[in-house]
Amino acid sequence: MTLQDIPRILVIEREAFTMPWTEEAFRNELTHNHFAKYMVMEWQGDIIGYAGMWAIVDEAHVTNIAVLEAYRGRKWGERLLDELMKTAAYLGMKSITLEVRVSNEVAQNLYRKKGFRPAGVRKGYYSDNREDALIMWADLPAYRDFGVMEGSVEQE
């Protein structure tokens, strides 16, 4: 992801989330947060999704993952998550975590498919409606072993 991608990312962000990040937040992530790693997904020259994480010591924390509504249900989000996990493993991360709304069963099912497991709840985490967040964690294989992970991009 580059600074030039931010306007398109904001479109996706507003469509996907009730509390979208601002242009300033993305700009700060890309220019000042040395832990931040972001990627975009393009289809036929258009950005249709993006994902981000913080890579800290040996743990990755997913900050965002979103796909344009018109492209959902086609495994684009799964491919983004695969690439994020692969990148985290490449960077030497041993595990990866995220928070997901307790009501977002579609996302939870994807995360479980990719090896994430529930590890706790953050009460009232989402400030728009005080919804709880489910904390999920997954172990990451060594990068050299990533291609043999179930559901990995290389197997498709």
Active site (catalytic) residues: 99, 111
Give the relative orientation of helices 23-31 and 6-16 as an angle to the nearest 10 degrees. Answer: 130
Q: Could you tell me the two tokens for 32?
A: 């000042």
Q: How far is CA 115 from the centre of its chain?
A: 14
SS3 assignment, position 98: strand
Amino acid at 141: P
